[in-house]
Amino acid sequence: MQTGTLYGISVGTGDPELITLKGLNLLKNAPVVAFPAGIGGKQGIAQRIIAQWLQPNQVQLALQFPYIQDEAVLNSAWQLAALQVWLYLQQGKDVAFACEGDISFYSTFTYLAATLQQQHPEVRVQTVPGVASPMAAAAALGLPLTLRDQRLVVLPALYRVEELETVLNWADVVVLMKVSSVYPQVWQMLEQRDLLKSSYVVERATTTEQVVYSDLRDRSNLKLHYFSLLIVKVTGD
């Protein structure tokens, strides 16, 4: 029997209409739909986005991925998730994994697919691109993310403030992912460089809880949601 295909489907940043037609068609036709489990028994972001399209006859597979940095615990979670998915793939059933944002942009799916292919090299994996948070945030702001030959840098959640200092010396546009944990230090640095007026924060872009902050000069004490990013326009448009 031929094994099923694992599809990584980007479902966007929150607005259910941001999923592509290709992704939606694969999602609707997959016998098994997997997604990261939510915290505390609540629906996760990806599950909420796709909920309206799931059918009663589809298996819904919530996979546990801990939000920690312990490599041993993470590897154990990847192994377990891969095993759960393989149980269906080996039966010839396709599995569609729904992932918020874009499937290749700091995505949980990347680790799941890599672990599964290490265990079972014959597994076929296909991915469908989608809307990533920097693009969604730029749309929420009504601003182009980049123009002409501007240099764009994206720094993930674990960047050090010293790295930001270096990047600001040469980049034209900087996106800081999940900025909430370092926002006070970042704000001070932007103030020193007189960049607060051209800096923007978007919380939970494209969701019904979206909040936009433009011109951060009087925003030193923002208490931001975990899914917040900051865009700095270092040079003029």
* Per-residue pLDDT, 202: 98
18 lies in the same domain as 113 = yes
* Per-residue pLDDT, 172: 97
Q: What is the 3-state secondary structure (H, E, C) of 80-112?
A: HHHHHHHHHHCCCCCEEEEECECCCCCCHHHHH
Burial of 170 (0-12, 13-18, 19+ CB in 10 A): exposed
* Per-residue pLDDT, 92: 97
* Per-residue pLDDT, 78: 87
* Per-residue pLDDT, 69: 67
- Contacts of residue 88, Cβ cutoff 8 Å, sequence gap at least 6: 4, 31, 32, 59, 61, 95
Mean pLDDT taken over the chain: 93
Query: Would you call 115 helix, strand, or coil by DSSP?
Result: helix
- What pTM did the predictor assign? 0.91
Portion of the chain with pLDDT greater than 70, in percent: 96
Distance between CA atoms of residues 30 and 92, nearest Å: 11
Whether the Cβ atoms of residue 64 and residue 37 lie closer than 8 Å to each other: yes
68: pLDDT strictly greater than 70: no
- Domain housing 142: 133-233
* Per-residue pLDDT, 74: 79
* Per-residue pLDDT, 157: 67
Side chain identity, residue 231: I
For residue 183, the surrounding DSSP H or E stretch is helix 183-192
Whether the Cβ atoms of residue 7 and residue 24 lie closer than 8 Å to each other: no
* Per-residue pLDDT, 167: 94
From 90, 113, 128, give the residue that closes a domain: 128
From 96, 128, 160, give the residue that closes a domain: 128
178 lies in the same domain as 68 = no
* Per-residue pLDDT, 158: 64
pLDDT tens column, 173-228: 999 999 999 999 999 999 999 999 999 999 999 999 999 999 999 999 999 999 99
42 lies in the same domain as 121 = yes
Higher pLDDT, 137 or 235: 137
* Per-residue pLDDT, 216: 96
115 lies in the same domain as 26 = yes
149 lies in the same domain as 210 = yes
From 112, 128, 144, give the residue that closes a domain: 128
Q: Which of 130-144, 155-169, 194-208 has the lowest mean pLDDT?
A: 155-169
In the structure, what pLDDT confidence band is assigned to residue 237 with cuts at 50, 70 and 90? low
* Per-residue pLDDT, 183: 93
* Per-residue pLDDT, 67: 67
pLDDT tens column, 78-115: 899 999 999 999 999 999 999 999 999 999 899 999 99
Q: Which of 30-34, 70-74, 148-152, 163-167 has the lowest mean pLDDT?
A: 70-74
Number of domains observed in the structure of the chain: 2
65 lies in the same domain as 177 = no
122 lies in the same domain as 158 = no
Portion of the chain with pLDDT greater than 90, in percent: 84
Q: Which two tokens stand for residue 108?
A: 């949980």
**CATH code at position 198:** 3.30.950.10
100 lies in the same domain as 41 = yes
**CATH code at position 97:** 3.40.1010.10
